[in-house]
Each structure stands twice: as structure tokens, then as C-alpha cells.
Chains A and B, each alone.
Chain A
Amino acid sequence: MKLTTYSRNLAAAAVVGITSLTPAFAAEGTIKFGLCYDLSKAYTFITPQVAQAAQDLATLVNSKGGIGGHDIEVIVRDHGNEPQRGIECYEQLKREGVVVFDMLSTPVSIAVLPRVMKDKNILIQSLVGRGDAVDGSVFTQIFPVGPTYLGQAANDIAYIKEQFGGDMAGKKIGFAYLDYAFGQEPIHLLETLAEKEGFELALYPVPLPGSDQASVWTKIRRDKPDYVMAWLLAGGHVVAAKEMKRNGFPIDKYLSVNWLNEVDIANIGAEAAIGIKRGTNVAGGQDLPIIQKIIAEVYGNGKGAGPEEKIYDVYYNTGVGIYSAAFEAARLAVEQSGYPVTPESMKAGYESISGFDANGLFAPLTVTAADHGGGGKTRVEMWDGKTWVPQQEWTAAYSDLIWELVRESSSKFATE
């Protein structure tokens, strides 16, 4: 009963319920979250929004009495996307009593992975790092809550299939990707799906850093794919949009990975971008109870962690998504094993998240000891000129196939 109530409630609202049960005793210690982020180099297109979201959400939860009477403390540090400095940050915060870390950078997440596993701490690794870390049986300490890129790609294919009335035979799907690990990851899956569904897959590697796509789109014009899935980052979409216009490819057949936000839309032009689609694990826009609550109670009281305009960005929602799940896990940890939050209790907390959706911010999330991704549901949303409009229900397609690939990959991680 209790859990189902929570699942319908907001993380913060649920916390109010808890604190009203346990009469407010002064918070002696805080629950620390260590955010070692790249605030100065490659990931700056997302880190400020996510860091701000984490801080704002913490402010909101703290204003309601924190978690079991303990305030949440969000520590943000810069590591400049350098593995060495990420390790330094991890080692330092570890000694300051932080047990839950978030690096939000693939190279740095990978660099601290062996240390986190050895120290048995907790690493939040949503949307970055090794995708196969959703396999909780191997990566016991890693929680990449949210979809993997494999999951996203599979869900995109499922969406496209839906558009074609369930039959993809003879259709052609283009896959434009940044030619390194991030972009290459879904290829194997797409090839398998192409065989299974009978569509033709056309690969369009885009050389790093993605600013030169002229030859790619000329090729796309020649090949005339029915849809193009784009595994590009930030500015890459803007370049793609320009090339689409030049080559007469309809922008509403362009389906982006989750890394496309309002900043890119503004660079493309809000009008010109109408119809562009993106797969996402969090709902976009501000018409969400939790975002409204942050606007009213955090920014309304002038306690925001940064400029208010950053809220109007889907990456802010991404950050609120990551951290409402993390705070929910901490809440469950305190509820189950009391304060302080230890890596063991935090792990147990995460693994008992069930059907939690932060009041409609993301698909109901159920994390288990085997599945640290929480189901990997996404949906496709479309830009209508002002905001993101959902195009389908939350889905997780081809799960068996994805898990097969994940297990195949994660089994290679162990050194023995």
C-alpha cells in the first residue's frame, strides 16, 4: 500500500509524508551526493543543467524536512573530463564521507569504475559510461538508471515500425552516428534488428567532432532512407539540420538520440525545427508537477541554484529525473536501514525502487538486483515549435535481445 502510494507521488511529496511521521529532529548529518562533473570541457552542454537540477531538487526536498530529517548535500566539483582529475575528485570526496558518486562523463565514469567496484561505493551512471553496466549481477555498484543506448535504439526502431503500421519489410533506415564508441554502440543491435524486421540499414559514420556532415547528407539524399536515426551530440544536430534543408530531407523523419535540447533547437530555429523527433527517457517541457513545484517553491523563494532560464531545457528534466530516482533510493535506504546511508543500504534502496515515476516525469521505474537500468523505457517526443509533444506511450522494445547483448558484453568485463 505504502509503496504504491509513493509510486503515484512525487519524490518530494513522499518525503513530506515520511518526515511528518518521524517528528522533525534536527538533522545532525547530511546525506552527501558527490557530483564530479565536467563543467569546463566536453560535457558543458549538459552538466550545468543537471547539476542545477540536482541542487534544486535537493533544496526542494530539504525544505520539506530532508530525507528522514537529514538534509541532502549536493557537492559539485569540476574534473574537466580528465580521467586523472576525476579519480582525484573521487578519492577526495570518498574521504569526505561521500558514498554516492556521479561523474556524468563516459571517460571519467570508466576511469573510476574499477575503484568504485573495489571500494564498494555507489556510482550513478545514467546515460554515460559502459552501457552494459545495467547488468547488476556483474556491475553490482553501478546504477545507470535510465535507458542504455541499445535500449534507446531498439525503442526508436519500435517507434518507426509503429509508423509503418507494423511492417518494416523493404524500408530503409539510415543511422547517422559519431564515429566513436558512443555512436558505434548500437550498430550491432541495429544490424540484428534489420535482419529480424527485414528493413535495410544504411550506416552513415560522421567523423568527430561532427561539424562536417556534407558528404554524409549527400549520400543520404542519394539513398533516400525512410527515417534517419541520429546518434550525434548537441551541435551535431544543428549541422545535420542545415544539411537536411540543403538536401531536401524532411526534418520530421529525423529521430535523434536523447542528446538534443532547446539550445540546439534555438540554433536550428524553433520554427525550422518543427517536427524534429527525439527519443527520451524523461518527459520534456515544464508542464510536469515536479518541475512546477521547483519553479514555485525553489525559484519562487529565490533559492534556485542558478539562473531560472536553465529550467526551460530538457536536460534540466534529465537531471531532475536522475536525481529524483537517486533521492528516492536514499529515502528507501533511510527507511529500511536508517541513517547514515551506507553503500549497502543505498544499493538496497536503489534495488527496491518499484514503479516510481516522479509523478509522470519518466516511465515507471523498477530497479532490481539484476536490472540496474530500471526497465529502460523511453518514448519519442516531437518538437512542435514551442515544446515537446509525446508521440507514443513509454516503451521498452526487444528487451530479450538487448539483455542478450548486454550479458554478452558484461561477461567480458571480469578479468578472470
Chain B
Amino acid sequence: MFYRLSGVRHSSYVSDRRMFQVPADRNAVIILLMIGLAAPFLIPSLYLNSYVLPWLIWTAAVLGLNLVTGWAGQLHLGYAAVMAVGAYSAVHAARFGIPWEFALLIGGLSSSVIGSLFAFTALRVKGLYLALTTLAMQFVMDWVLTHSPTITGGSHASLQSPPFALLGQEITSDAGLYYVALGWCILVTIFMLNLKRTGLGRAWVAVREKDFAAAILGVNSFYYKLVAFAASSFIAGVTGAILVATFYFLAAPEQFAVNVSIQVLAMVIIGGLGSIIGSYMGAALILLMPGVVNQVFSAFAGLIGLELSIETLAHIPNAAYGALIVIFLMVEPLGLGKLYANIRDYLMIWPFDQLKK
């Protein structure tokens, strides 16, 4: 009824390989895209720049981590470190006078190199051991950043990024910065959407499911793992650079510390491993929920005239937010993306689902 078809049935390979199997999905994406493009005219600047913009950038980051963790199945706990490499190299490049287009590319490539360098050592081990190795990478990076003033900009450790510019055009307006973030997020999303239709994406899925089974099928799992790390690190690097250039305006080590790595991983897990729409939802939940819950609670406390101390007011939302994560994962362990998929699958054939059973 909502989707005007009763299930997805293919009669040709072309239809099987289509990006959008259901026309309604494609239409939804188009509508969302239009809303995204019109957002600067629809959404007040406060929400645009302190909620939507960071959300889009973090979504791009989550998609990058989802690539290596969700698609290729390699647990990665040092993602923020890779973002830091990209951010710092891009900002240094831009400060050196290199145009931002190339600075972003330099950021991405240097991240890619360092990310895969660590992957080389990390890929000899699997699972939890890999998680710990990548975590070690995070700590190495933290240490490097706090001990090298030349990278981080002196003992006060904040390196200002030059004004962002693309194609010789300086971008400083709220809307301009928003479009940069939106553009990058769309680019990464398109890449990820196409991934599952390519041999590369299928090879990663094979490696994720069982790497030696993949090897028997002729998939060189070491090579594909390495490519996964390199590709995800590239996305991380550019995202880190864009985060600094359009949102923080300066780079500081705390912005890429270990807790950020954990946060991004939490976004991936809550969103759903290997789910694109889940990445959007996970980033929104982890990033925006604390602030929203905080406001809801303050408003609620004000409404019923509850006299709470500022500390209590700060802690209750944290507890509520934690509970929310637990509830979501209890309802659907595969994440928000799966939750959405369940609803969609149910509505797909509703109200004729009895016929199928």
C-alpha cells in the first residue's frame, strides 16, 4: 500500500543489481536530498550549524568506519587517530599555502598511508586482538600529538585552520559551510551505496563472514583487508580535515582522543553494522541525543516546577541517554538501521502480508 508493490522479485540480473530495488526508496532519497539542499532556508542557523552540520560530518566518519568494521568485518578502535592524521596534515598543508582542495586530498592520502601502515601490523591478528592493536594505534597517536609541538601548534596545542576555500572561493557563511559538509557526506554515501554492487564490496563481505572461506573462493583476504583499511582511512582523513575546516576551525588533540574513537564505534554499532541509513541514525543518536535529552529534561523540570541542582540536571540526561542506547539495542541488537528495515519490510507488503504466509 505504501510502496505500491508486494515484495521485491527479480526477473533479470539488471533489476537485481539496481541501486534502489524499490521505487519508493529512490523517491524518499530524492525528497531527503531536496530537503538537505533546501535546509539553509528551512532550518534556523543555530540548528543548521550546531546540529545538522556536525551530524553530516560525523555521518561521513561513521560511514568510513562502517566500511572497515561493517563491511570488511575488521574491528577498529583507533578511528579518531586516523581522523587526526588527516586533519593535521590538511591544516598544515593549508597553512603552508596549498589550496584546500589539495589539502583535503593530502589529508586523506596521509591518513590512508598511516592507516594502512598500522593495518599491516594489525592484520596479522584478528577479532579482539585486532581491536587492541588498533587501540594501541590510538594511544600512539595521542602520545605523538601531545609530545610534538610542531604538529599540534605549541604547548597550548591548538592549531588554527586557515579560512576554508574551494575553487578560489572563500567559504565562511553558515550555508556555505553546511553545503561543504553535505557535499562530502553525499559523496561518501554514494560511494557506500555503490559498494554493495561491486566485486570489491562483495569480496569484503566474504572476508567479513569467514576470511579463510573467502580465501578458498579465491579472495585474497589480506589484500582486501588492507584495501578496506586504506579506503576507510582515506574517508576518515578527509572527514577529519573537513570537521576542522568547517566546524571546529582549529585542531586540538582532544578532538581526536580515544573517547572520540569509542564514540564513532558506538555510532556504528547502534546504527547497525553495514547499514548506510543506520550510520545516519547512529550518528544522530550518539551526537545529538545528549543535548536534546538535556533540553527535554530541563524543560520538563521547569514545567513541573522541580527544583533540581545543576549537577543533578546534568547527570539525569546522561543516565536517560545511556538507558536509551540499551533499550534500542535490546529491541533490535542489529541497530537502528535494522529497526528501520524491519518497519520498511513490514510495510512493504502490508496489508497483504497474510497472503504470503
A residues bordering B, Cβ < 8 Å? 39-40, 44, 48, 51, 76-78, 80, 82-85, 87-88, 91-92, 95, 106-107, 110-111, 113-115, 118, 129-132, 179-181, 184-185, 187-188, 306, 409, 412-415
Offer 12 A-B interface pairs, CB within 8 angstroms, sorted by A: A48-B310, A84-B247, A95-B46, A110-B156, A110-B157, A111-B250, A111-B252, A114-B249, A114-B250, A129-B156, A185-B156, A188-B155
Per-residue CB contact flags for chain B residues 252-287 toward chain A (1 = under 8 Å, else 0) read: 111100000000000000000000000000000001
B104 to chain A, nearest CB (A): 17
B residues bordering A, Cβ < 8 Å? 46, 49-51, 54, 95, 146-147, 153-158, 160-163, 247-250, 252-255, 287, 290-291, 294, 309-311, 313-315, 317-318
Q: Which residues of B contact A84 (CB under 8 A)?
A: 54, 247, 287
B147, B155, B314, B317: which contacts A185 (Cβ < 8 A)? B155
Is the beta-carbon distance between B250 and A87 smaller than 8 angstroms? no
B253 to chain A, nearest CB (A): 7
Is the beta-carbon distance between A181 and B46 smaller than 8 angstroms? no
Is the beta-carbon distance between B255 and A107 smaller than 8 angstroms? yes
Distance of A113 Cα from B157 Cα, bound (Å)? 13
B154, B250, B253, B294: which contacts A412 (Cβ < 8 A)? B154
Report the nearest A residue to B152, measured CB to CB.
Answer: A181
Q: Which residues of B contact A77 (CB under 8 A)?
A: 294
Is the beta-carbon distance between B153 and A91 smaller than 8 angstroms? no
Question: Number of A-B pairs whose CB atoms are under 8 Å?
Answer: 105
Is the beta-carbon distance between B156 and A130 smaller than 8 angstroms? yes
Distance of A187 Cα from B294 Cα, bound (Å)? 40
Is the beta-carbon distance between A114 and B50 smaller than 8 angstroms? no
| Closest A-B pairs by Cβ, 3 of them | A39-B314, A114-B249, A78-B314
Most buried by B among A48, A107, A132: A107
B323 to chain A, nearest CB (A): 15
Is the beta-carbon distance between A184 and B95 smaller than 8 angstroms? no
A239 to chain B, nearest CB (A): 20
Is the beta-carbon distance between B155 and A415 smaller than 8 angstroms? no
Is the beta-carbon distance between A107 and B290 smaller than 8 angstroms? no
Is the beta-carbon distance between B50 and A92 smaller than 8 angstroms? yes
Is the beta-carbon distance between A415 and B255 smaller than 8 angstroms? no
Q: Which residues of B contact A130 (CB under 8 A)?
A: 156, 158
Report the nearest A residue to B161, measured CB to CB.
Answer: A415
Is the beta-carbon distance between A115 and B310 smaller than 8 angstroms? no
Report the nearest A residue to B257, measured CB to CB.
Answer: A107
Report the nearest A residue to B250, measured CB to CB.
Answer: A114
